[in-house]
Chains A and B, each alone.
Chain A
Amino acid sequence: MRLHASTMRAQAIGHAQTKPRDRPATRMGLAIAGMFGLLPRAMLRRVPAAAWICALVACLNAACWSITTPPFQAPDEPDHFAYVKQLAETGELPSSGSEQVSREELDVLRGVHAFGVRQQPQEHTIASESEQRELLNALAQASVDATRGSPAAGLAASEPPVYYALEAVPYILARGANELARLQLMRLASALFAGLTALFVFLFVRETLPASRWAWTVAGLSVAFAPLLGLMSGSVNPDSMLFAVSAASFYVLARAFRRGLTTRTAAALGALTAIGLLSKLNFVGLAPGLLLGLVVLSVRAARGAGRSAYRLIALGGCVALSPAALYIASNALSGKPTLGIVSSALHLTHGSLFSQASYIWQLYLPRLPGMVDDFPGLFTTRQLWFNGYVGLYGWLDTPFPAWVDNLALIPAAAIALLCGRSLVQRRSALRARAAELVVYAAMALGLMLLIGADSFHAFPETDAEYAQVRYLLPLLPLLGAIFALAARGAGRRWGPAAGTLIVILFVAHDIFSQLQVLARYYG
């Protein structure tokens, strides 16, 4: 392990010393090319085989979830499907947030009884040959009803287009097949993002905990088997891409903190921010933390390289914000609302700043003295977030029995204790990396504030509209690091065994989650 760490350090030093002084534009081009897989060979060769296996495991698991979850029984899947249909068939973005998707899709939704099953836990999916025949008729009818595109895409209409553009590829490739075949192919494409997420979590932990090679695998595999990652990546939903881009952002940040900021990493951070903002609006929550990271890293770089290092902020910032700037400019020039369909959502704010802050606090943590109780009788930390993580599948209508949530407290407490022990043992190292930790905390806080503020828009009509754990999954790299730290917390002798048990715990969590889904829909 020591040898490996010193090799890594030597590589890092060598990287800094031997890097040719190429022009910034060329280096930025190389970085962006690398991001899109145009220059992967050298980079890919440096990725350990274990990381690839973690990625493969995550893909297989998400593919399994894509089968166990019935068509259109994942959150908002009909809306996301409609968006892809519109983009693939017309080349245009959806223009309406109405739920009136195309007739073709409606025929299929009715054929699989999607509306009767959604949020009706007592109702199962189609279960007889006669219902299957009716579905086949509905699919045939759908091909007769076929219209180009779907201008309405429900909740998805306000989302940026990159994920949907990628999903248009399998949609178009499955031309001639029915809507269900297209949906399955799109789900499998989405499953690839689960692989990328696990890969980048592995690499993130490799950068943050370089001395514990075995712990990287614990993090990668634990995340690969995370049931919510499987559910979301096994369905058509831009969350899957958001998780992967977020994990990549954490990795590049960690790499920059460990090896120093270069033109390449600054451009990569900017590009990831841009891709993230174009994948799903929730990335807005992570962006301030990412930009803070860029600033901190540039200040550090300036100590050695002088003021020229500050150019890296400008480079990263320009790359990051250019798509948003182009979007705003095109809307302004064409006389549309400046932020497009998002503009209407921004006018929904209500209440004082204090009431909003109080609400957001209570959404995650117990109420403090002086705060109005926004969640009477509800321990949000436990009931919304912890129980939500333990299991809430389908359209948030498939939980575990309450005793499972209680039982889950035991391993969760054990992991927390081991992680705490590990942190206490290495507190001096933590102090040395305080700036890096502050940046990760800012990313987490930004995302949590965004979820809280969005939920506050719907409050008090709905208590906690967006209190869904899936919205926190962009923070999976931090969770992976917690698992790795927990395994290390068991000590040098028992650490690998504890890590093995943590992974098995996640395997069990995943299998029982899928059984719960099977019981709910097909039991």
Chain B
Amino acid sequence: MRSVKVALVAGLASLAAALVLTLSASPMRVASTNRVPGTETPIASTRAGATYCQAHEVLPGGSSAIRVWLDAAAGPRVEVTVSSGSRVLASGARGSDWIGSSVTIPVKPLARTVVGTTVCVSFHLHDETIIVQGKAAPAAVAAHEGHRALAGRMLIEYLRPGARSWLSQATEVARRLGLGRAAAGTWVALVAFALLVAAVVLASRLLLRELA
């Protein structure tokens, strides 16, 4: 049946195009952070909704995501706003399907770097507990919940696309994939690639045989 051949070719061509498009994009890299790995300290915890704000931040130009260190077993929806005075420079939200010790919230990037911004993180909770990780700081510069100062500053990272595309980093990713194995080597990535290609080729041939 011709329509099956057309559908298969069109489907695989669209998939290839989507792959090229995806791999030509750049992975996110940390543009700025106040975090020193391994030094995280709980500065607040809550079982209710809260809005925590932190002043004296710098929003790097091109930041397309903000990562905040919040500990949750099943994270709630989180909203973030970056403002300068009364003007909101960037904002974004992340749905409730996150887990772990940090949450990354996509925001619309701003072309230029802005200093002296305030970052506010908001969420609503129902029975769950959220722990805010940060580093100890005097009340004058600490993050706030309303007028109450927290025990320190929240850990915040600003992310933006790196300079190199995924495609140009393929060999490095393949090398890292090959580490941490029983028999380490880049060949491990080639085996994975070959397995997937074999599966796709077999499936395509089967579709042509059974459906066409």
For B56, the chain A residues whose CB sits under 8 A away are none
Interface residues of B in 1-23 (CB under 8 A from A): 1, 3-4, 6-8, 11-12, 14-15, 18-19, 22-23
A57 touching B96, Cβ below 8 Å: no
Mask: chain A, 373-397; 1 = CB below 8 Å from B; 0 = not: 1111110000110011000100111
Interface residue count on the B side (C-beta < 8 Å): 64
| Chain B residues within 8 Å of A56, by CB | 202
Of all chain B residues, the one with the shortest Cβ separation from A131 is: B179
B36 within 8 A of A: no
The answer for the CA separation of A53 and B76 in the assembled complex, in Å, is 43
Stretch at the interface among A273-281, A425-433, A456-464: A456-464
Given A67-B192, A112-B180, also A214-B199 (CB < 8 A): no
Knowing A67-B191, A377-B77, A463-B126, the reply to whether A120 touches B11 (Cβ < 8 A) is no
Q: In this assembly, does A12 line the interface, its C-beta being within 8 Å of a C-beta of chain B? A: no
Q: Does chain A have a CB within 8 A of B135?
A: no
Shortest CB distance A392–B (Å): 7
Q: Is the CB of B198 within 8 A of A60?
A: yes
Query: Is A38 at the interface (CB under 8 A from chain B)?
Result: no
B64 to chain A, nearest CB (A): 11
- A451 nearest CB across to chain B (Å): 15
Q: A217-B207, A514-B196 are in contact. Are A181 and B182 (CB under 8 A)?
A: yes
Check: B163 CB closer than 8 A to any chain A CB. no
Which residues from chain B contact A259 at a C-beta distance below 8 Å? none
Q: Chain B 177-198 against A: per-residue CB contact (8 Å), 1 yes, 0 no?
A: 1011111100011011001101
Residue on B nearest A64 in the bound complex, by CB:
B195
- Complex Cα–Cα for A267 and B27 (A): 55
- Given the interface pairs A464-B74, A493-B3, A512-B22, the reply to whether A519 lies near B166 with Cβ below 8 Å is yes
Flag A113-137 by CB within 8 Å of B: 1 or 0 each. 0000001111011111101100100
With A54-B206, A376-B126: A511-B196 Cβ-Cβ less than 8 Å: yes
Tell me the A13-72 residues at the B interface (CB within 8 Å). Answer: 50, 53-54, 56-57, 60-61, 63-64, 67-68, 70-71
A6 within 8 A of B: no
Shortest CB–CB separation between residue B75 and chain A, in angstroms?
Answer: 10
Q: A511: which B residues are within 8 A, CB to CB?
A: 15, 19, 196
- Residue numbers in A under 8 Å from B183 (CB-CB): 181
Q: A10 on the interface (CB 8 Å rule)?
A: no
A189 at the binding interface (Cβ < 8 Å): no
User: A523 on the interface (CB 8 Å rule)?
Assistant: yes
* Docked-complex contact B210 and A214, CB < 8 angstroms: yes
B115 at the interface (CB under 8 A from A): no
Give the segment of B83-91, B98-106, B137-145 that binds chain A.
B98-106
Task: List B contacts of A401 (CB < 8 A).
Answer: 106
Q: Is B212 at the interface (CB under 8 A from chain A)?
A: yes
CA distance A344 to B27 in the complex (A): 46
Q: How far is the CA of A63 from the CA of B15 in the complex (A)?
A: 22
Asked, given contacts A121-B100, A496-B4, whether A221 binds B180 with beta carbons under 8 Å apart, the answer is no
> How many A residues have CB within 8 A of the partner chain?
86
**B110 in the interface (beta carbon within 8 A):** no
Interchain CA distance A504-B188 in the complex, whole Å: 26
Cβ–Cβ contact B181 & A180, under 8 A = yes
Contact B200 A523 (CB under 8 A): no
Contact with B along A478-498 (1 / 0, CB 8 A): 000000000000000110111
Which A residues touch B176, using CB under 8 A?
124-127, 522
- Once the chains are docked, how many angstroms separate the CA of A378 from the CA of B94? 12
Which residues of A in the span 208-226 have a Cβ within 8 Å of any Cβ on B? 213-214, 216-218, 221, 224-225
The 7 A-B pairs of least Cβ separation, nearest first, read A504-B11, A181-B182, A460-B127, A119-B100, A497-B3, A180-B182, A496-B211
Interface residues of B (CB under 8 A from A): 1, 3-4, 6-8, 11-12, 14-15, 18-19, 22-23, 27, 67, 73-74, 76-77, 94-102, 104, 106, 124, 126-128, 157, 166, 169, 173, 176-177, 179-184, 188-189, 191-192, 195-196, 198-200, 202-203, 206-207, 209-212
Q: A132-B184, A213-B210, A523-B166 are in contact. List 9 more A-B contacts (CB 8 A).
A: A64-B199, A67-B195, A119-B99, A122-B67, A122-B102, A127-B176, A131-B180, A387-B97, A522-B176
Ordered by A's residue number, 5 sampled pairs between the chains whose C-beta atoms are within 8 Å are A57-B199, A125-B180, A217-B211, A401-B106, A499-B207
